[in-house]
Structure 1
Amino acid sequence: MKLQINIHKIATNVLKKEAEAVLQLASLLQDSDFEACVEAILDCAGRVVITGIGKSAIIAQKIVATLNSTGTPALFMHAADAIHGDLGMIQANDFVIAISKSGNTPEIKMLVPLLKRTGVQMAALVGNKNSYLAQQSDFILDASVDSEACPLNLAPTTSTTTALALGDALAVCLLEARNFTSEDFARYHPGGTLGKRLYLRVADLFGQHDLPTVNPQATVSEIIMEITSKRLGATAVVDTDSKLLGIITDGDIRRMLNRHTDLSGIKATDLMNTTPKTIEADEYAVKALEQMQHYNITQLVVLRDGQLAGFVHLHDLLREGLV
């Protein structure tokens, strides 16, 4: 079916309209209560409860998820359900954010007096500063837009994008004010690849392998047997006190075979790299991946307090889904 519209032009106009509206928020911050709202949430002993109806409720749920994952305890309360029992989740030391483009929807107008009776502080994330919701709130977060990206100026598009962006700005300000670290983030995101990038350490990986080692006088045959049997593509060369002297990779073996036909006099000391790439056992596994990618290698020597502990291989990182 041949469409009679310019898809690219329409999509571009939508994106430009929404981008311009988000940029406009920066200028609105100066005249809103945004900074005071951040400070009030930081001083709040309870949770941030975010409410809304319709598309605003969906945006509220996303902001709640972002706050929870960045160190600010938050709950979602649907505005319609609140007036049918869910208001019971509100505690006196909570902080409420109500999201509404118009600020005058029937559910919001019914809910606001009930919220005020609980004694909680309330912020209006609103598109109309003169609305009932804005005038009844302690803080106004101005998310005004000139128009929706919808050509009918009806479907919530630009308004929901700006509300979401303002929620992200709020979450990031709170994150930085709380000195929230990547280690804190990892505690809230233990699952999936993201979690593993933040908590998985080299020590969690290398212990599953037998440690391949040869002495400095090992023959080529002994070296090949050790590399083959341990299946890591390399072996460490150690002295009698197990001190690391260097490593030999299967690549070193192949390059040696291209140069020599008589292998009888070649020892490990003739082949080993005396400055191998290493990583400490308590380092994050993602750092091992970064090193392998930077140096275009497939394994690293693992050290613990400067002493040889094992090898970590690219396949270990692949198996954990880090690549």
Structure 2
Amino acid sequence: MSTTETILATAKKTLLSESKSIENLTNYLDEDFAKSVTEIYNTKGRLVVTGIGKSALIAQKIVATLNSTGTPSMFLHAAEAVHGDLGMVQPEDIIICISKSGNSPEIKVLAPLLKRFGNILIGMTADKNSFLGKEAHYILHAFVESEACPNNLAPTNSTTAQLVLGDALAVCLMEMRNFKSEDFAVYHPGGALGKKLLLRVKDMLDTTHKPMVTPDASIKKVIMEISEKRLGVTAVIENNQVVGIVTDGDIRRMLNTRDTFADLTAQDIMTKNPKNINSNILVSEALNILENNSITQLVVIDNNEYKGILHLHDILKEGIV
């Protein structure tokens, strides 16, 4: 086999090994898993997730997922816990302790301490008969037959199993909380989904550089206003009201049909009754209006007052599309 074939064969073998381990986890889901989810859902405290080594890294990812989906969670490093950080744990907190073997020295020290404080201890381990398995109130059985590592040493299948069990916990809790996409957006205001569901036109509108001309403005002045404000459009204002717009497209069409424009003004080439929106609508709604009308700009008007121009490029910069 060539080097490429060998690499791809190893990669496929690894993926198949890990996917099989995940599939086998369904055989180990039991009443303890359901009770763990219920206890976490009902607690008035937080969920504290702890581990050592690679399990600690998985614990941090699980905490991140839970926090973003409505379950207040905190990571506690098992080694640091026995050196002062145990004070982070409050009486009503529930602890998930992650350890493949369930017999690491740190876990043997930590588990009895947590139980002594009266906290519910959930053990995530591959060995139900381990020290952690026997100490925990509930077991999340993360059993794998072997690692994908050819030496059966490097945590691969085992950490994947821990990760997906954490995901399963999070999804179960999301369903119990009836956690919607709108709720997710609240925890991710800076992400694309958060912006799509939360960002309003007024939050991103530049009201200090509003392109505008009067109806009797010369075409030269219209062109200068469009060029200066760099939005490809200018509003035409009369008596503080928007009576039309002139776009760069209008300018091009005029030049294609006339040899001179010295006698023309903005009102001669403007589009009357332009599409407009209120600044309080969601940017995602404004985007739909732009797409449905095959245009790139919208006039923003609040209570008959011209506020500015929303351009498609502004929306693209926010990463909403």
Mean alpha-carbon deviation: is it higher for 186-195 or for 112-121? 186-195
Is 2:215 the partner of 1:210? no
Is 2:64 the partner of 1:65? yes
Q: Alpha carbons of 1:258 and 1:192: their partners in 2 closer, same or farther (altered >3 Å)?
A: same
CA distance in 1, matches of 2:135, 2:125: 12
Partner of 1:261: 259
How far residue 90 of structure 1 moved from its aligned partner, in angstroms, is: 2.1
Q: How does 1:90-109 map to 2 (within 5 A)?
A: 90-109=89-108
Q: Matched residue pairs, number?
A: 320
Q: How does 1:97-176 map to 2 (within 5 A)?
A: 97-176=96-175
How far residue 32 of structure 1 moved from its aligned partner, in angstroms, is: 4.5
Render the CA deviation track for 1:102-155: whole Å, top value 9, x for unaligned. 223333233222221111112122222343323332222222223211112211
Q: Alpha carbons of 1:165 and 1:283: their partners in 2 closer, same or farther (altered >3 Å)?
A: farther
Q: Unmatched 5+ residue regions in structure 1?
A: none
Partner of 1:228: 227
CA distance in 2, matches of 1:273, 1:34: 64
Render the CA deviation track for 1:192-217: whole Å, top value 9, x for unaligned. 87876665432133234332234455
Q: How does 1:224-303 map to 2 (within 5 A)?
A: 224-240=223-239, 242=241, 244-263=242-261, 266-274=264-272, 276-285=274-283, 288=286, 297-303=295-301
Task: Calculate percent identity across the aligned residue pairs.
Answer: 53
SS of alignment partner, residue 210 of structure 1: coil
Counterpart residue identity of residue 110, structure 2? L
How far residue 44 of structure 1 moved from its aligned partner, in angstroms, is: 0.9
Question: Normalized against structure 1, the TM-score is what?
Answer: 0.82
Counterpart residue identity of residue 13, structure 2? N
Is 2:288 the partner of 1:311? no
Mean alpha-carbon deviation: is it higher for 98-107 or for 204-213? 204-213
State the superposition RMSD in angstroms. 3.3
Q: Alpha carbons of 1:114 and 1:249: their partners in 2 closer, same or farther (altered >3 Å)?
A: same
Question: Normalized against structure 2, the TM-score is what?
Answer: 0.82
How far residue 81 of structure 1 moved from its aligned partner, in angstroms, is: 2.8
Q: Alpha carbons of 1:212 and 1:47: their partners in 2 closer, same or farther (altered >3 Å)?
A: same
How far residue 96 of structure 1 moved from its aligned partner, in angstroms, is: 0.5
Please tell me whether the aligned partners of residues 215 and 240 of structure 1 are also in contact (alpha carbons under 8 angstroms): no
How far residue 308 of structure 1 moved from its aligned partner, in angstroms, is: 3.6
Render the CA deviation track for 1:36-64: whole Å, top value 9, x for unaligned. 22221121111111111111111112212
Partner of 2:18: 18
How far residue 80 of structure 1 moved from its aligned partner, in angstroms, is: 2.7
Counterpart residue identity of residue 248, structure 1? V
Please tell me whether the aligned partners of residues 219 and 267 of structure 1 are also in contact (alpha carbons under 8 angstroms): yes
Q: Unmatched 5+ residue regions in structure 2?
A: none
CA distance in 2, matches of 1:39, 1:80: 28
Render the CA deviation track for 1:54-85: whole Å, top value 9, x for unaligned. 11111112212222233322222222333333
Please tell me whether the aligned partners of residues 240 and 305 of structure 2 are also in contact (alpha carbons under 8 angstroms): no
SS of alignment partner, residue 209 of structure 1: coil
Q: How does 1:1-16 map to 2 (within 5 A)?
A: 6-16=6-16
SS of alignment partner, residue 134 of structure 1: helix
How far residue 257 of structure 1 moved from its aligned partner, in angstroms, is: 0.9
SS of alignment partner, residue 33 of structure 1: helix
CA distance in 1, matches of 2:186, 2:176: 18
SS of alignment partner, residue 6 of structure 1: helix
